[in-house]
Structure 1
């Protein structure tokens, strides 16, 4: 039986963030060029004026509104537990119940073939219509570095050491068997092991052996623009790192974001009145852009197989050449766009805490490799062997 809709986008936000997803709808409607059949707007108390603004800013796409309050979340949880203290858990001290709005596609796949969920702090630079057209998968998502435990603190089962799927962008396909039963599983996991959207999503996927298209970093790129060249998506994650409340993020991306925000306002949408609450943060992104970190991370990723070890020298050389090219390109760009010049890392508010990343295993491995290649004629490569073993011992300790 043919479904009413083929391609859907689902966005979710509490009442004080209508402007954020209104801006996203304007952005998606323009960049996607009519590929989206329907926008599902999951909300908690949007005004009638905001609902009307969404209908206008969406262009020719259908808009469907889904109410999702804290009480709704509690009702979904109730069949699985009598303990409602989950709403007072550490997870909800940082995020709201709307984090679970991302699972609403599981209730909508009987009317739409594919629904892509996007976090409310995302901006598209390019269309992502290719996600609608993927075949043979149940989900698309980006696999992160964190493990299922401690992400889901109460879980200690067979998948506890598996890496989690991140929840910033998740595509749901109607190939998922019994999606409404999967929806119940999500709340059952939350009752058993604690609330965490990424944790329970990952457990659902692993437990049911669902097939997932792993999305690369072009779909999960950060606001540090030098890491985001060629990306489809910019994700302004973190409470103090949004397009609208972080001064440096706005300096990099404000011209583009404001274009769509103004469209939202012209359609009668609500304003953002909070101003900047942070000058610059996420210095860790800058440190992970260092050549040492890139090289060390590649060494870790490729050392476990014989084929990986054979191709590793070529991978490392490609990283060095690309890094050098990026430095040259950066100097050219800031000559014509001085607003994109990144400030000294010491100016970031979280600079001191981010320095710990220089003691991480990838960074130390990369540093050791750079040092060894510079002193190869003094036996640097032999010393590298012993230094790598020392770093391994430190990691075990």
Structure 2
């Protein structure tokens, strides 16, 4: 009887421990959701605002393509702020914590990815200098098709019928845009300039479609635990080397000497010119950080869905602020793009459900059962 009495407090202790664990898990869930909302907000602001500011630069007298490329990653030092907060937190828990987690091999891989990013920035900026925002946004949406293709080649992602359907729809949408491009060309722009912008933007979408699987491959090959802090460090390194790549091109192209002259001739005034450059750099960092956070705290699938939803938002903002035309060709291309996105993500959702169902049906390993005996 005494033994029974002595054992009675034990279930209460276990219940208290379970309650404490559940409370900590609940706090982590709340924090995770709050950070997810913050990253989604940054992503929405960056995705909608950065193309508009870049187009405004070209519409009001800006012409330096390498400068506008530089702006897309030139704000990367901003990432040092959240990294400093992360370091202080880690330092408080472990006094021997290192300021940076990234290893040399991973740093070199990110440096190479940064150079590719710099080239992609130039292709995108070149296209934006000649294309309306609405047209450019629709062309960039073909990135999903290229991402699926390169993911299949690099990380052995399997194609589903939904993915193939999405690729076909997105590419067909780009063809429709090309066929109906005559009425979309801005005033005073030659047909050659317009088609050069068209090809460059499509090239930017293809290169970014290659870049995303390369980043995923880098995650898979990294011989260290991937945390959000490490992801931010990787983004900082990629942004730095992309900026360095564009800086060298700016020096060769003498863009730095041209900035003061361009500022004086800018239609909105010299002060507005410099403010536009600063806010463009900040907007692009919102986009990159928001996208990284959305992928880390949720999934690449959910981040992609949000980007797809924002395409019509960018289209509407371009029509409102820049009075761009929205003809039937763009409407068809937009419908095909959204259809392609929906097809791709519906297929991914079905595949994920199937994987979870199969996983739940797998019986326990015999070795694990026997090891308890």
More helix by share: 2
Q: Which has the higher contact order (CA 8 A, sep 6+)?
A: 2
- For the criterion TM > 0.5, the same-fold answer is no
TM-score when normalising by structure 2: 0.24
More strand by share: 1
